[in-house]
Structure 1
Amino acid sequence: MKSNPEIAAYILCGGKSSRMGQEKGLVVWKGKSFMTWILEAVIPITDKICLVTNCDDYQQFNLPLIPDLVEDKGPVGGIYSALHHSKSEWNLILSCDIPMIKSELLLELIEHIKSDENLVVIASDGIYDFPLIGIYHQSLENEFQLAIQENKLKLRDLVDSLSPKKLLINPENQKFLANVNSLKELERLT
């Protein structure tokens, strides 16, 4: 049984992947694609999982593929597409380039939506915030739509304007936050 059936999960697979040179979610690390690693962390949490992508290559995961409602708007557009599609009050939003993510870390984020009034909860290492490891309330759809209309596409700026709860991740768990954007970063992943 899923521990949080009211939570939906959306994994953003968009982006041009110019630094990686290929679809990041399909990059193989330790014998499995990034997407497989991420799904292994998400599946214990919810069975409501969708991939936000316009790329048919992700059909191999047998999950709903949600196209961007407005193309070429980066992660702001991806989150808007997810929130527009969602029927869940709370939505776990993840990027497709975090193969080390763990269920325990995601469950810790979820615990904070139950004890706080913030509409966004994101992971932070105390120096950097990780808005693509976060939980967003469905009511924020209009905020993201407005940002797109006004072409305000810097995700960190938008999220900061929403007064997010920043969950400080313990130093020993910060490696699980690593996002991999290039082959050099992939080589350094342990």
Structure 2
Amino acid sequence: MLRINEDIAVYILCGGKSSRMNTEKGLVKFQGKTFLQWILDAVTPLTSDITLVTKNAAYVSYGIPMISDLVEDQGPVGGIYTALADSSTRHNLLLSCDIPKITTEVLTFLIQSSISSDNDVCILSDGKHDYPLIGCYQKSLLPVFQYAIEHQHLKLCPLVDSLRNQKLVITPKYQAAIRNINTQKELLSLT
């Protein structure tokens, strides 16, 4: 196993409205497995400390701990806030549920970079777009996310940009691994 030597908790955000996909994104199937199962397959070689941030009972069948948003309808900022409030580890890997091509190799690179960094947040980027929902967040950011919710600062990218952050630019070889699948059209184009 490729276990990470340092304690890290993984939170997969499954609580979105999925309005563009018109169905629960984490449960969408790609090549016979749900998006969530693809993500779990990439994460479980690294840690068993995995929690789903969702109140959707359809995820119970995975047998993974689930927590509901502490403050509903706050988008990804609310999901991260909930995860950090729940976490007992310094390092926290936050993932969206719509990245079925994510790999253990990419996640290992992200986690190891984060652990060796003195930044509060370490996220992936393709050089044009940042992916703050493929990122490692320090537990110490909990008050920052609480403040953001209290003041309705719910845009995640500007919030991340305001923090001590590191954006790891993924080479073209790995860019498919971080692609979000938000629509049926994007799903059909997935190979």
Q: Fold-level match, TM-score > 0.5?
A: yes
Kindly provide the CA deviation profile for residues 87-144 of structure 1, in whole angstroms up to 9, marking residues without a partner as x.
1110000000000000100110111123221011000111110000000000001100
State the Cα RMSD in Å.
0.9
- Whether 1:118 and 2:119 are equivalent positions in the alignment is yes
What's the secondary structure of 1:139's corresponding residue? Answer: helix
Runs of 5+ in structure 2 lacking a partner? none
- 2:132 aligned partner: 131
> Is 1:2–1:47's contact at 8 Å kept on the other side of the alignment?
no
- 1:101 aligned partner: 102
> Is 2:91–2:115's contact at 8 Å kept on the other side of the alignment?
no
* CA distance in 2 between partners of 1:160 and 1:6 (Å): 25
- 1:79 aligned partner: 80
- Whether 1:54 and 2:55 are equivalent positions in the alignment is yes
- Whether 1:21 and 2:22 are equivalent positions in the alignment is yes
- 2:162 aligned partner: 161
What's the secondary structure of 1:166's corresponding residue? Answer: strand
What's the secondary structure of 1:175's corresponding residue? Answer: helix
Kindly provide the CA deviation profile for residues 154-174 of structure 1, in whole angstroms up to 9, marking residues without a partner as x.
000101111310111011110
* CA distance in 2 between partners of 1:86 and 1:184 (Å): 36
Kindly provide the CA deviation profile for residues 27-67 of structure 1, in whole angstroms up to 9, marking residues without a partner as x.
00100000000000000111000000011111011001010
Letter aligned with residue 66 of structure 2: L
* CA distance in 1 between partners of 2:55 and 2:3 (Å): 30
Q: Give the paired residue count.
A: 190
In the TM superposition, structure 1's runs of 4+ consecutive aligned residues that sit over 4 Å from their partners are none
- 1:70 aligned partner: 71
> Is 2:96–2:133's contact at 8 Å kept on the other side of the alignment?
yes
Shift of 1:2: 5.8
- 2:175 aligned partner: 174
Q: TM-score, normalised by structure 1?
A: 0.98
Q: TM-score, normalised by structure 2?
A: 0.97
Percent identity, please.
Answer: 54
